[in-house]
Every structure is written in C-alpha cells, then in structure tokens.
A and B are shown apart, each in its own frame.
Chain A
Amino acid sequence: MRERFWKYAKGDRIIWAVIFVLSIFSILAVYSSTGTLAYQRMGGNTTYYLIRHSVILFVGILIIFITHLIPYRYYSRLSQVFLYLVIPLLIVTLLAGTSFNQASRWLTLPGLGFTIQTSDFAKLALIMYIARALSLKQQVIKSYKEAFVPIMVPVILVCMLILPANLSTALILFGTSIILMFIGRISIKHLFAFAGIGVLVVSLFIGGAFLIDREGRISTWKNRIEDYISGESKENYQVKQSKIAIATGGLFGKKPGKSIQRNFLPNPYSDFIFAIIIEEYGLIFGGLPILFAYLFLLYRAGVIVKKSTQTFPAFLAIGLVITIVFQAMVNMAVAVNLFPVTGQTLPLISMGGSSLFFTSIAFGIILSVSRGIEKNQMDAEPVTT
C-alpha cells in the first residue's frame, strides 16, 4: 500500500505527511464540532457532516495528486491566464455575488450550482503571477519602473477588488505579496515606501467606513476592530468562548469529542476550529502538532528554495506556502485572541469546500515544484557522478 502510494505520489514526503496530519485533525475536529449544526440543519444526523467533509477532503487530496503531476513550468503560463480570469470574476462577485454575512464574497458558478469564494481563487492566481513576474524580472529586479511597478499594479488591483467584501483576506494577501516580493529581491526601499502607502489607503478606507457608518459589512468590521480595542461587546462573545475553550483544554485537553465550547462558539468547525482542537486535544496533542506541521511546511519550502536551480519554482513554492502558513498563523492568532476576529479559515483543517479545494491546488503546485526539483536532481546526478 505504502509502496504503491509513493510509486505515484512524488515530491517532498514531509509535505505529504503534513497534508495527512492536517487532514486527520480536520476530520476529527470537524466531526466533533458539527454536532450542533447537524441538529440545526440535518435533524440530528451527525454523520452527515462527517461523511460530507471526508468526501471533500478526499477530493482535495485527489486535486493535490492531480495538480502535483502537472510539471510546474505549465503553471507559469497558467498564472497569467488565471490572473486575467480572476479580475473580471472579482468584479462580478463584488457586484452580484451571493451575500453571506452581508459580504459579497461568493460567486455561484453558472450551471454548476457550486459556489466559490472568488478571493480564494484570486489569492492563488496572484501569488502564482507574482512568482512568475519576479523570476522574469530578476535582471532588473531593483528597478522601480521595470520591476516594482509592473508587479505592484496587479497586486493593488486584486487587493482593492477583494477589500470591500473581505478586508482581512485583502490585507493578508497584500502582506503575503509584499513578503514574496521581499524574498524575490525587490528593492526594500520601494517596498517600505509602498507598505506605508498601503497602510495609509487601508486606514483611509476604514476611516471612511467609520464615517459613513452604514448597515452591513462595514459595521461588521467596525465592530470587530472596536471590539478588539475596547475588549467588550457582542462579537467579543466568540473571543470569550474561544479563550474559555483554550483555557479549559490546557496542556492535555478534555479528550476527543468532549468539547463543551463547540456549542457556544459560532462556526466552531471553521474560524474557531483551532480553539476546539486545543480544548479536546490540549496544547501537547493538538496545538503543537498543528503548529509544527505548518512550520515544517515552511521549512520544507525553504529546502525547495535551496535546492531549486531556477527562480520561478522557488518563488512559486515559497509564495504558496507562505500564503497557507501565514493564513494559518492568523487563524490561530485569532483563536488565541492575539489578533482581532477576521474570519480566516485554518487551511486544510476547517470545514469548507471552495477554500479547501484552492488550498489543495496550492499544495498540489508546491508538490509539483518539489517533484520537479527532485526529478531534475535525479536527472542531473548521473552526469555529475
């Protein structure tokens, strides 16, 4: 079985291991935390969400498997196509998307009856595009006009299109882009200057939102930010419940399936799944393994960078890994109340279709790079020896 798996699954085995560890936690935590949802929506059929989530995870792994088989060089060209595709999609979503929680984030794909969160797609497309652009411009990378501006324009465009519906995703994507550009050797001077401008724009946007004070999304963030600052309110309820989950979980947890807070935390299976994992498995059996899994992933991306002989695969792998790991860190930081509530999912662990599939594509691409590099080395080795 194992032999057979590795026969087909190529690339970094540690990354594969990370995927499996996260998937196992995902199934356990989602099953435990969907009880209330099952009672509310499925008349108490608790296995419904277990099966549904397992199927989604299985499809996700299938997606990883398929995407990792595609040679990474195809992704270079694909990134351009994706970006051109994603910008109109974002506009359409913003104008006519399905409103969840008053945010136009979702787009129902015509004919498929399937909704996707366009920003998930945009994240993938933008990072891929930046990786490509960075590698193409390495000769003139310190130039403002030739490298900085051409890369920055799509970043700003995409982030601005995500921003009205999903502030936190826009910020995280912007941050990830800056980090990736930093790794890609863009002038630090330019980046700092621009980061400053970015902060200014966002501040103005939020400031404007506060002034306008309309019903809807704006007041949601307004509340969230105010809550984080003032430390008391309605939204703070989830933070309080999350803190209780973590505090009562302690080092060793209450044992699987014994969570109490899952009944009080809104979205215990997505935004606050980390709190439920800590509550049931504790820091030792739940928190640390997950943190290590993401840190390992980042470490292995570093290894890929080191091994890589070309810049595009290196940027592609590190960019996607940072996207995943950074989002994971933000999610966990929110759960432990280091950051204000954002609504970011925990990649590969939170329940969900669309975001999990895009995460899977990202993992697939990372593994494709890893596979390609291993192959190159193997091809190269006989020559050197």
Chain B
Amino acid sequence: MSLKQDIVWRVGIVYLVIFFLALSIVGKILYLSFVKGQELSQKARSLTLKDITIDSNRGDIYSSGNRLLASSIPYYQIRMDLKSTAMQQKVFSEKVDSLAYCLSGLFKDKTPSEYKKELITARRNGERYHLIKRRVDYNQLQELKRFPIFRMGKYRGGFIYEQVNRRILPHHNLASRTIGYLTRGNSGNVVGIEGAYDHELKGAKGIRLMQKLSGNIWMPVKDGNEVEPKDGNDVVTTIDVNIQDVAESALLKQLMKHDAHHGTVVLMEVQTGDIKAIVNLEKDKNGIYRELYNYAIGESTEPGSTFKLASLIVALEDGVIHLDDTIDIGNGEIKYYDKIVRDTQKEGYGKITVKQAFEVSSNVGISKIINENYKGREHHFIDRLYSMNLNEKVGVEIKGEGTPEIKYPGDKLWSGISLPMISHGYEIRLTPLQILTFYNAVANNGKMVKPRFVREIRYHGKVLRSFDIKVLNPSICSGETIEKVKQLMEGVVENGTARNLKNSSVSIAGKTGTVQIANEKYGYKLESKISYQASFVGYFPADNPKYSCIVVVNSPSNSVYYGNLVAGPVFKEIADKVYATSLSLQDGFGDLKQRIVDPPYSKNGNYQDMMVVLKTIGIDIDGEEIISDWIITTKRDSFIELKNLLVRDEFVPNVVEMSMKDALYLLENAGLKVVAKGRGKVKSQSIPPGALINRGTTIILEMSFI
C-alpha cells in the first residue's frame, strides 16, 4: 500500500464518521419534528402566549346623599430590574449615587448611602424584581420616572412600576364596619357591604392575549382586548352620613363617659326600613373606640326589658289583660321554683296597673301577667312570639347576622321558669337589629319591614336596580294593640323609666332595658365586676313615627348601668339632632313656604336647571310661554317672570346676567374662546350679542357680583 493510499483510506474513515454524525443530526431533527413535534409546539404556545387578566375598576359605595363612603384609588409599586441586559455597568456605577440621593430625598425613609448600598447589593445579586417602594402615589410616580437611571426606562433603566388599587374610606371610621372590606387572597374574609355586594362591586375582569417577545417583554397579539374589563357597579347605601356622624359622636361620648366596653346604635327609617346610621364602637387595646365588630348585626344577647313589649303585645292581642288591669307586685319579688325575680326598685309598688308595670319596667309585674295567663299553654305564648317573626333572622345581606333564639316548650332547655323568664327578656337571644326591626314594626303600625342597607345599584350613574321595601310581616298584630302599646311606650318616657328623655325637642316613645350580660365571650363577670348591657329602643316623633332607633351600651363598669341613664341620653341626642336637621319632621314648614312673598333674585340661564330649582323651593313663576332652552329672568313682587332667550346658530348669544357655567357652555359650544375677568355673573361681553360668529376668536367677559 502506497503512502497516499494509506492516507486516503484514513480520510475515508474520518469522512464516514462525520457523515454518520451528520445523519444522526438529520435523524434528531426528524425525531424532534415528527415524534416530539406536537408536544413541543404546545409547550411553545404555553411559553410564548398567555392570557393576562385586566383588573376591572371596583365600584364605589355611596351614602344615601351620594357621598362617597368607599372608593378605590390607584397606587404604584416600584420595582427595579437590576439585571436588565440593557443596563450598562458604566451608567449604573456613575448614576447610582444620584439615584440613591433622589430616592432618599423623595421617600425620606433611608439615607442615600443606605439606598446606594441596597441597590449595589441587589445588582450584585442579579435581582430582576427588586422592591424599591411598595406604595407610592401618582405624583411620586411621575417624579420617580425622572430620576437618574429610572428615566432611561424599563429596559435600560430597569424601572418597573405596577398599579395596584387600594380601597379607601373617605370618612375613615364612619360606619366602617358596615361598609366593610374584602381581604385579599383566599381567606374569604368578607365583611359588611363590601363583602355582601362584592358580586356587584367587583365588575368583570378583562382578558388580553399577550405574546412574549423576549426577556420579560410581552406584546398584545391584537389591538384590543379579547374580553374588555367591565367596571364594577356602584352601590348606593341608605346610610346618611350626617345622621351617622351624629350617632357616632353621641355614642362615643357616652361610651367614654362610662368607660364601656362597646356600644352600638342603629337608626332606621320607619316606613322604609332604611338604615340611616349604624355605629359599632369597641374599645381597642389602646383604649380607643373603633369599629371592630358589627355588634348591631352580629351579637345576639338576652334583650331584657326591651322584650317586655313583645310579651304585652301577645297578652293584649289575646285579650287576657287590659292596660288598666291591676297587678299586685307585692314587695317587688316573686319566686318561680328556685328562681327569684326581683324588680330594680327594692321597696316594691304594691298594686299597679299593667301600664304602670310596663312604664316602670317591673319584672315581677310582667312575668306575673304572662305566667298567670299562659301557664299550661306556654306553646301558645311562644307561637304568638314566633308569629311576629321574632324567631327569624331579618335576613340582612351583610354576613354574620346573629341567630335569634327563642326556645319552644318541649325543647331540651325548656324549664318551669322559662315562661316567666322569657316574658321579661331572659333565656332568649336577639341582636340589636332584630329588636329594632320589631320596634320599628310597632312604629310602622304593625307592618314589619326588612332593614334596608342598600337602596340601589348603579352603573356609571345610571340606576340598574333599586331595592324595594321588603315586608317581612304585613301586620304583626291588630291596630288596636298597636295603639295600646304605643301609649305604653310614650308612657315610659312620660312617667316611667325614661323620664330623663322627656324634655327632648321631639317626642320620643320607647323602652329601656338593662340586662346582666350572659355573653359567651365575657361570661357573667368581666374584670370581677358584674357587667351590664344597657339599652334603649324606640322611635320619634312619638305621634307620627319617622325614625326608630336602638342604642345598646355594653358592660358599663361604673355603677350607673340602667338603660335610661346610659343608653337613653345617646338616643335623645340623636333624636334631637336628627329632628333639628330634618325639615320634614318639623311642624309648620308648610306655613313657612306660604310666607315667602319676596322671590329671590335669579340669573339668566338654562331653562331646565332653573325650573328644577324654582319648583323645589316653591317660587311662583309667570311670563311668556317658554320655547327656548335659555331664559331671561326678572324679579317681580311675588313671582319671577321668565322670558325666552333665543340662541341662534352662527350668532353670538347674549350671556349677560348669566353665570360663568352657562356662559362658558354657550360660548365655547359656539366656537369662541372665552376669557373671563373678575368673579360673579357676566356684566358685559366684548362681542355684542347677535354678531356673526367668527370661530376661534376670543370673547372677553367682564364678571361682577353686582
């Protein structure tokens, strides 16, 4: 074999080896495309395409007067990609000092050197999502965008910001527990209206299909969204911010005075069941009263004397007693088996009428009436209570309503003393809201309506749904009985336990209650003192009930614990203030209207707007038939005279004597540029009315108050 041949066969072998390598490459390509093809394409799709959800804007919660109770505002989370491939080391090293200085200056939480150290460490660790600040507002964001390094943008500057919406309550603590909140995540903690109406408020998330470009850059596949996000609906509550404020401050004052553990106030509109105010205050660890738990809705306790109303309604309805029947309450003590029931006034009253027994809240009297008349047919008494819905939840949408407990003869816990005990409000449990609903039914002439927290659902200002008054029981008892018990409740204030509420500016009817707390949470003792729950529930004005209200103050530790003294003043203060601010409650308003003989001066302006105002305040109008959208007003002796103000296209309108709002609307719509000088109404206009409009020219308005 020649040298050449020897070399050539060796080359041949090498060629073959490499040829096989090439073949196996082709083989692997075929294997990847045909055997693994589908799996890999799917993987590719999952890696390169994704649906991102676009959060919807959560709806707002409004008060009945359209004031914001809860709303969402955006804030931003600032992060930094310190390992962005486009971030140059030179730029970073040069600018890190000034960036740290700027950050420190803006947030004032760390020194520039701390920031610098943090940034350098994060860069060394290659952090791609380094948290700079968790919560910055829009203005701060704009400033951050101009900072060194950050101003180079997302890629070269590594600047990342993410919008997060935060829920705020503009009125802070005010009814905050009832407005509620949603906890993030899956804990499922939903509270108050936020929780109950989450399905309305949350809206619908949108979906956008994104394709990955590189790094962490995603590009929408289409121009629009696959599914557009839908804003949440707004929830309009029945809460009246003013009344709520009054109720809260009245309760707070009393809680502080008695160093109480917690208290609650609910104020309801008699005819509609609208909850105008709901306050829950509890002393926190630091001794500050805050809305921590919705006691009004959630806490079932023994109601005590306030329940005597229900007992008497049953007895009166059955005709077994009359208001002026007498009962002997002896020395104010009576024994049922081994249980002694005492009246609060130790000396006793001797023989008193049924009405007096209620007015002075005699435990002996009421329990004696019920025990004597219903012993042996206890189930009849309890059935009667049940027929007044007292054993049912009122069914509020807000989560956590306490279950009412009124036991039935034959129940395991029913005993010989159950009937007399129940008759004056023990051995049963009701929430403050449930008691109020019952009293409200009495005030509403027997018609029991469901407490209403939400009046309507709106979307972008348009009403989607309104919630009607829901009647729970059209008539809890006869009209006759209602009249009788109304007298009883008026008597409580007039002659009975709540005489301290007598000198109120509005007539009040109601019932006091004082009960030893049998609460699982606290037991019968709290801090080695017997704890009490003082309450007052009633309505006002007594002769024509407009509002009903319950005040409960829990475990006052001072010796003053009677319902009338602790809860009564809160009720009175609320009633006084609500009365003072509600014109419709006051007599003589109608006369007042008649006395307006001198109509006010009015500017010229929009016809529709003007009519709304004039009709509302009851000003008479006269003059020619109005055919235009704009009017000229003239003040006369007893009315306002209206004339047409004609606005024609292409001609400058007469805006003299108009407000700025109307003038601006007319002139800018006509294509003029408006420059206004001074304040007040339009006194003169630089282009006379009726001139041809030359679009874009400037018209100067002289404004003045005279």
A residues with CB within 8 A of B: 36, 39-41, 138, 179, 182-185, 240, 243-244, 246-251, 260-261, 263-264, 278, 283, 287-288, 291, 294-295, 298-299, 301-302, 305-306, 311, 314, 318, 322, 325-326, 329, 332-333, 336-338
Contact = CB atoms under 8 A, between A and B. Distances in A.
A40 B15 CA distance: 42
B471 interface: no
Contact of A336 (B25, B43, B155): B25
Contacts of A243: 32, 36, 40
B592 interface: no
Given A243-B40, A247-B37, A336-B25, A306 B18 contact: no
B15 A283 contact: no
B92 to A, nearest CB: 15
A333 B25 contact: yes
B10 A36 contact: no
A278 B6 CA distance: 38
A240 B33 contact: no
A338 B43 CA distance: 20
24 contacts: A36-B213, A39-B214, A40-B155, A183-B7, A185-B6, A243-B32, A244-B41, A244-B44, A247-B41, A247-B44, A248-B40, A249-B33, A250-B33, A260-B48, A264-B212, A264-B214, A283-B26, A283-B30, A291-B25, A329-B22, A329-B25, A332-B25, A333-B21, A337-B28
A38 B6 CA distance: 52
B11 interface: yes
Nearest to B156: A40
B3 interface: yes
SS class of chain A's interface: helix, strand, loop or mixed?
helix
A329 B3 contact: no
SS class of chain B's interface: helix, strand, loop or mixed?
helix
Nearest to A41: B86
B692 interface: no
A370 B22 CA distance: 25
B32 A247 contact: yes
Sorted nearest first, the 5 A-B pairs with minimum C-beta distance are A247-B40, A263-B214, A336-B28, A250-B33, A244-B44
B29 interface: yes
Contacts of A295: 18-19, 22
A249 B3 CA distance: 47
B41 A326 contact: no
A247 B44 CA distance: 10
Nearest to B39: A247
A294 B18 CA distance: 10
B494 to A, nearest CB: 85
A349 to B, nearest CB: 15
B7 A338 contact: no
B617 interface: no
B8 A182 contact: no
Contact of B8 (A305, A322, A326, A332): A305
A333 B20 CA distance: 12
Contacts of A291: 22, 25-26
A134 to B, nearest CB: 10
A82 to B, nearest CB: 24
A138 to B, nearest CB: 7
Contacts of B6: 185
A298 B15 contact: yes
B40 A185 contact: no
Nearest to B49: A260
Contact of A248 (B3, B41, B155): B41
B169 to A, nearest CB: 45
A2 to B, nearest CB: 30
B213 A263 contact: yes
A248 B21 CA distance: 23
Contacts of A240: 43
B504 interface: no
> Which of A36, A244, A337 gathers the greatest number of chain B CB atoms within 10 Å?
A244
A300 B21 CA distance: 18
A337 B22 CA distance: 13
B25 A183 contact: no
A251 to B, nearest CB: 7
B3 A138 contact: yes
Contact of A294 (B14, B22, B33): B22
A250 B32 CA distance: 8
